[in-house]
Structure 1
């Protein structure tokens, strides 16, 4: 009797799916055990003690059209309980919503000294944020031993500055950065934000980044305390003047020059910027995703395939294998999905989200895949990284 074709083709398809599911499982075993334990959320400020002498610090805040969030963030900086000399320089980056005047009105006699300034027009080759930072660093003066570079939407606990400086002094660090806790109040924020931090930690495992001599280096631009001499050693802000992902670029420059960097999750540093709609979160990710891939089509293709293999294959193999009665495929997919879910739970706990939400990570990863592709499409259309009226 002649062999029938369809069962052979079906068996071949099942075999291919099984091997793909096994490959995904092997990747997850490696990620969970051998990738710097990226999924753990216990990387917080290292052991520290108050320094014998509190060094002088200047807080530099670049702000462009931030009138909506400044009343929630700036007062927390002005109210810092720092035992030494500290002041705040807010650089109003040619805002159109009265950011500078609003900032000046928030100053209080009992708070830190506040200077509100505007930089010269943006020159070619600079991003607006870094041009504003450069202007603020210049105004800080030569007596500032540390510079706290923080975004206008970041609110700090009253001891935040003192704890950052204590961590830097106690551990001889040149750059101390904390990933601010982002807002998770709306449905889209709860779905997208914890995954954003989880993916960032997967891309730049904190433990590896914090290891002297390791190639990995990263920082979070919302809260980065840098030693002034370390910044000068790398050539100042001008050394990264065109960087869209400026925080990672700064950490790489400091580490390449022999400096010691540290990055972890924050306990008293929070973002107050709302992202109530998917479109706003989409822009937050897509404006820099392709830049992160160095505008490489090959890296884009590899990222898309990698995201599909790591995050989409496990649930697909689980469902397809179960439906077809191919239990080996379903078991491999289910094991990979379980590892994915288990590594995501600590981040959900950090953001105080329910554990069952971990099962939605494949769907969220599919959204990130589309955001990454959209970032490349916008770049090819000449729109590049767009932020508040500027395109880079």
Structure 2
């Protein structure tokens, strides 16, 4: 056989292994596990880090204010140095929509060694723990009407600064860590807590359904989730005693006791890929974690241009490779063999008469496209896009190389005016 035929054979064998041996990553059936209402609904503090999010908050924050959670609940929005009036927008929305008590706080600039999001989460979690707002009906199991009345009574005229919240004595029993661009259906928190309590889980995370409206979003976004699942197969993450750990940072329900045991966020304060680092820390501390796709949790952040999506991916791609040049070279070579060789081999078969290369390339491309179909269905996209996966993979390859170049030029993981260098101590693999 020709060299291209041998490469196509290697690609086909790789795809057969990915199809059957990588935790069935391509399946999209990992949704919230069995749920049942607990005898007593635990207290929850919702912590929302927000930096310059005035544009998206009117679409996302009302969904948290409208939660129909039966137990004690409060919302803490941490305004991380915003310059667009994020805090004022949040207060105004709390006055307009009502709902559980809302507190808006600002921790100031991050201390050295902290990423902005984790610094904001540290402040929000610390506030929830310190307040321990468990007096009266919020803490003693009073009626839901009494709880709502007390929550309403504690909201001040500026949109809920302070307030008793629903943390329960000594702090909340659970923390919902959710991004400012995530919109939740009214039963989202109730379903998350029911799944956590029914299955004895310390961390429950849902990969929010990302926006797919523009042409570039349709090309890049489903593949983003597909590649994430390929790196961290959800079935492996969810298996008892698993060594694979991951979470989706947009929606994480975390048991407060497990957070303390894992020393988060302090233990992961330098992490750029904070959601995966969080899951690893909880798992290492003996916690049980679960990750799946969401049906009723959506990201509303738009990425209208390729440049917007490029920045979103490239800011953390090199960090995913632990800033290791050898891993970068291996990743580029692997992506080329697995994703780019099949169409090249098919081309060789059709136009250069290399029958073996063409047949092997076509077979590898067919398996590749087949594994992408479930994700396209989940995102309600045309199934014909599955055959464009090599093109999308080439974009991700370029984004990864660009991420490494930016790092070596000193621009690191840049996001909203901040640049994060490589951590002094590499995260555990």
TM-score (norm 2): 0.87
Aligned-residue offset at 1:237: 0.8
Match of 2:29 among 31, 42, 63: 42
Asked if 1:59 corresponds to 2:46, the answer is yes
Aligned-residue offset at 1:320: 1.1
Asked if 1:15 corresponds to 2:2, the answer is yes
Asked if 1:135 corresponds to 2:123, the answer is yes
Asked if 1:324 corresponds to 2:352, the answer is yes
Asked if 1:360 corresponds to 2:347, the answer is no
Find the aligned partners of 2:349 and 2:285 in 1 and give their Cα distance: 52
Contact 2:46-2:177 at 8 Å conserved across structures? yes
Asked if 1:115 corresponds to 2:143, the answer is no
**Counterpart residue number, 2:378:** 350
**Counterpart residue number, 1:282:** 310
* Mapping 1:1-392, distance limit 5 Å: 15-108=2-95, 110-141=98-129, 142-392=170-420
Secondary structure at the residue paired with 1:106?
helix
Find the aligned partners of 1:149 and 1:79 in 2 and give their Cα distance: 17
Secondary structure at the residue paired with 2:94?
coil
Contact 2:342-2:362 at 8 Å conserved across structures? yes
Aligned-residue offset at 1:321: 1.6
Structure 2 stretches lacking a partner, 5+ long: 130-169, 421-429
TM-score (norm 1): 0.96
Find the aligned partners of 2:224 and 2:394 in 1 and give their Cα distance: 13
Secondary structure at the residue paired with 1:264?
strand
Aligned-residue offset at 1:212: 2.2
Aligned-residue offset at 1:16: 0.9
**Counterpart residue number, 1:4:** none
- Deviating above 3 A after TM superposition, structure 1's stretches of 4 or more consecutive aligned residues are none
Find the aligned partners of 1:158 and 1:116 in 2 and give their Cα distance: 21
Secondary structure at the residue paired with 2:272?
coil
Contact 2:25-2:234 at 8 Å conserved across structures? yes
Q: Deviations over 1:110-153 (max 9, x none)?
A: 41110000013310000000000000001112320000000000
Find the aligned partners of 1:321 and 1:67 in 2 and give their Cα distance: 54
Q: Deviations over 1:311-338 (max 9, x none)?
A: 1001110111221222111111000000
Contact 2:258-2:287 at 8 Å conserved across structures? yes
Structure 1 stretches lacking a partner, 5+ long: 1-13
Aligned-residue offset at 1:235: 1.2
RMSD (Å), alpha carbons: 0.8
Find the aligned partners of 1:250 and 1:163 in 2 and give their Cα distance: 21
Contact 2:264-2:281 at 8 Å conserved across structures? no
Aligned-residue offset at 1:214: 1.8
**Counterpart residue number, 1:5:** none
Secondary structure at the residue paired with 2:104?
strand
Find the aligned partners of 1:23 and 1:138 in 2 and give their Cα distance: 51
